[in-house]
């Protein structure tokens, strides 16, 4: 059967996907709410699909991308998710996106380039209406705000906290933040309005690596914010990463030391390895050095157990599935070091050796 798909997954590899898999006919790239409706109407009417903005499609023997669709400016006009289709006995904590996009330029991330390095917030009234629906219709008591940086706009955060305290005092919530986009006043208001967990993308314990990642803050900044956060929030999470191609063993050692220091502070580290995502700057610079390890993917990423056909698919198409590869020549050595120190999130992987680098076209 012919088919199509969309979302951030194929956004950076749509042409490669369709060139490699002829059963795919169309993919939406970017925001899909308007594109998919336009696409379905034109398919139903037998119209030429080349005039649909924001898609990649098969045209005879070639694959082509149509002009990018303008961003949806009125994000309040986007309908709420179809919550009536969800069994909340299985999914008890809904994720709410109160804004779209991120203006920062972290070199490992694909979110900012996907949204065009901009942020389009929903009105607080619109956000409150969604939370109220979840509370009154489904009796939910906790929501997760899944914005990449909820604390981007201080005035908006304080307004949200005021409304939550006045209108939804029984609802608890969590969010993600940047250490350079929050202060004590915001923390106090957030904690006082029901925020019980906050997570920061700190990435590394090495200032040199943070500079490469264009994070815009230092390890000293991180430690200061984590200390203050611990005074206000029951749970504070620090997202850390490793496996950068420019990360020396000394840099990695600084991250290991950083993790042990924040654990002593009562901070919970979540450790991730770098995924070279197609829209990221790191991928553009290092995509010729992709390396693959079946053992690492199966044990660390946890998706390939007893699925040899999936392993072979990923191995055969590195230019389509680069997120399952790594680009750091020191990767096995760092993994062994992480195992030795029993870092959080590091399961045992025996015999992990990378394949030879596989270049991307």
Work out the percent of the chain whose per-residue pLDDT is above 70. Answer: 90
- Residue 309, pLDDT score: 84
- Residue 215, pLDDT score: 97
pLDDT (tens digit per residue) in 281-335: 999 999 999 998 877 766 555 666 677 788 888 889 999 999 889 999 999 898 8
> Where are any strands of DSSP class E within the chain?
3-6, 24-28, 55-59, 62-65, 95-96, 99-100, 120-121, 142-145, 172-177, 195-203, 235-242, 268-273
- Write out the DSSP string of 137-193: HH---EEEE--TTGGG-HHHHHHHHHHHHHH-TT-EEEEEE-TTS--HHHHHHHHHT
pLDDT (tens digit per residue) in 158-213: 999 999 999 999 999 999 999 999 999 999 999 999 999 999 999 999 999 999 99
């Amino acid at each position: 059967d012919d088919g199509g798909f969309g979302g951030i997954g194929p956004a950076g590899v749509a042409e490669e996907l369709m060139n490699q898999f002829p059963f795919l006919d169309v993919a939406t790239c970017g925001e899909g709410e308007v594109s998919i409706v336009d696409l379905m109407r034109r398919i139903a009417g037998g119209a030429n699909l080349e005039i649909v903005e924001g898609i990649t499609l098969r045209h005879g023997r070639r694959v082509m991308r149509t002009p990018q669709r303008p961003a949806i400016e009125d994000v309040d006009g986007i309908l709420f998710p179809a919550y009536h289709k969800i069994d909340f006995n299985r999914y008890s904590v809904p994720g709410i996106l109160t804004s779209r996009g991120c203006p920062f330029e972290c070199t490992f991330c694909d979110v900012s380039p996907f949204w065009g390095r901009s942020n389009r917030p929903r009105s607080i009234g619109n956000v409150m209406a969604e939370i109220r629906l979840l509370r009154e219709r489904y009796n939910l008591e906790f929501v997760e705000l899944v914005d990449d940086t909820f604390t981007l706009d201080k005035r908006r955060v304080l307004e949200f906290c005021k409304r939550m305290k006045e209108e939804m005092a029984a609802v608890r919530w969590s969010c993600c933040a940047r250490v350079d986009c929050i202060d004590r006043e915001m923390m106090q208001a957030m904690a006082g309005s029901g925020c019980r967990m906050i997570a920061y993308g700190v990435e590394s314990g090495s200032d040199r690596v943070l500079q490469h990642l264009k994070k815009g803050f230092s390890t000293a900044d991180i430690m200061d914010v984590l200390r203050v956060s611990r005074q206000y929030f029951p749970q504070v999470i620090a997202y850390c990463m490793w496996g950068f191609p420019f990360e020396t063993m000394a840099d990695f050692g600084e991250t290991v030391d950083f993790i042990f220091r924040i654990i002593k502070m009562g901070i919970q580290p979540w450790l991730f390895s770098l995924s070279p995502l197609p829209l990221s700057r790191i991928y553009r610079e290092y995509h010729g050095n992709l390396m693959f390890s079946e053992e690492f993917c199966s044990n660390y990423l946890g998706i390939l157990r007893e699925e040899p056909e999936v392993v072979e698919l990923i191995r055969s198409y590195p230019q389509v599935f680069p997120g399952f590869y790594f680009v750091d020549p020191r990767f096995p050595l760092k993994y062994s070091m992480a195992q030795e120190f029993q870092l959080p999130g590091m399961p045992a992987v025996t015999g992990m050796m990378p394949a030879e680098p596989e270049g991307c076209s």
